[in-house]
Structure 1
Amino acid sequence: MSQVLDTPPPTSSRATTPAPPDADPADLAALAARHGLTVSGARPSLPQYIRQLWARRHFIAAFATAKLTAQYSQAKLGQVWQVMTPLLNAAVYYLIFGVLLQTRNGVPDYVPFLVTGVFIWTFTQSSILAGTRAISGNLGLVRALHFPRASLPISFCLQQLQQLLFSMSALIVILLAFGVPPAASWVLAIPALILQFTFNAGVSMVLARLGARTPDLAQLMPFVLRTWMYASGVMFSIDHVLRSHAGLPGWVGTLLQANPAAVYIDLMRFALIDSFHASQLPPHVWALAAGWALLAGVGGFIYFWKAEETYGRG
């Protein structure tokens, strides 16, 4: 563990003479520099922060795996709930939206279409919810050990990615059971998931910083995410809705198609379901997916890093 996490160096037992209250700050800075003293908890430079984060990659992976293993440790079915939870959600959505609201009309392979949407949306939803509490919910760890705080939201996103990959086995069984054959396009799921993970991690870091200052944000996020889900085409085809309601303003269709959650969901549907064609994707979809990942990933990381020295204080 000493190779992964740093603890603050022990302070010297040598007595020091306190500086007078009216001492010149420049003289104090020179005195500190002469004795090799630095500000405790000061934010490192961005390149140094990235190096520190990379040095703790094994801790990030181990922490994510441990959290995933402990998540259902008290349940009798244990890790089976990793698959059962999204499947039960999909069953509820099928009953309400597919059967009662008839959103399955005009959508080929609706069950694989729906289950894929639920699984991919759950990845984003769970990552963001966990990221919102990454700092505020782990104050003991943050205050006890010195490590790059970005390790926490990233590890929570990695935990959700591991859970999604575990659940993909059930998704593949559903695809095969409903007559969706394996295809070379399934390989496209790999870059789609990488881009989605980058996007999720970036948004999680933004909300981790906001949640560290405003813990009540964690109570608001479920409502925000539920609204986002209804606009992301999880239970319905955005392309089918736009074609069926030609009178909608153009900006509505643009917002629905450019919605990052919808972009990643549709990319996975295109990769896995042969009846989901390229014509149903928004224009330049891969560039759009990469743009969202770059904006959220890089922007979120820098935004989180700028407040590094404030986490765990107050």
Structure 2
Amino acid sequence: MVDDIRLVRELGQDTPLPRLAELDGAYARLMAEMAGPAPAAVAAEKATVAGARRVAAPRRRRFALAFGLPGLAAAAVAAVLVLAPLDGGGPEAAHAEAATVLHRAAAAALTVPDVEPRPDQYYYVRTEQAGHESQAWRSMDGQHDGYFTVPGQPAEPVPGCHDGRQQAYDKYGQLEVGVTRECETRPAYRPELPDTADAMFAYINADASTSPRETRANYIAKTAMGLMGQTYLRPKVRAALFEALSRVPGLTIVRDVTDGAGRPGIGIGWNPGSGDQYVLVFHPTTYAYMGMRDFVAVLQVAVVDRAGQQP
């Protein structure tokens, strides 16, 4: 199967970016898909786009990149959007620019084919961290055995959880025959996750209100990061997550960043309160999520039928 991130990158290297006035209404389609009122930042951006179109030349063109989701049969078309420069400075302008990237990441998410996985299928994720690739197969319903691998090391099992019990393995990954342990089911697919911006914001913000204000953005961003890293998110859910993140105060845009594989992108950063800055990295032209700055890169994702199956 085609590695979607790699294909997008290769196609995008030789393709010119469109002007803002040439965009074909990706935000309008996004807001029509999302069941919930658009945040103020989106409304302001729509007004900017509308104004630009009024003064633009009448000739318009459509610009898109095709990319595939590994393991899925359908192909999608993702609009390539331009990051519009914002005037002024200060926290409000910085947040507005970060929100723009997240709006566009949400629009890109809606172009991916929507596939509802079966309970017995697996969420396959290939990542790179510190120069080492790893692969993971996580059970969609959390009840089937999966595992993950790192080159040069034995595969580590991820046993499924049935009625609060799971098969036990020793620290070397060896099966302990006849031994089980208590467990909590952790499915890779969670159909109950909200698929609107309002509901998703309430979800990721549920416990943050009890935290000090200076750590609120960190708490929410970590919750979102956990969902992106461990959970199979259908397009509307992923779009809702990015839209919800755009409402979190304190986020800023970080330019000239690279993910864990050294691929360049646009970053959305937040301060966890420890002096360091954590940064989510998005593709500079498609706005697909790529990973975290200098930490981890998401190379490939897929829905597969069994643990160990390559997309």
Same fold (TM over 0.5): no
TM-score by length of 2: 0.29
TM-score by length of 1: 0.29
- The structure where helix makes up a greater share of residues is 1
If asked which structure has higher relative contact order (CA below 8 Å, sep 6+), I would say: 1
Task: Specify the structure having the higher radius of gyration (Cα).
Answer: 1
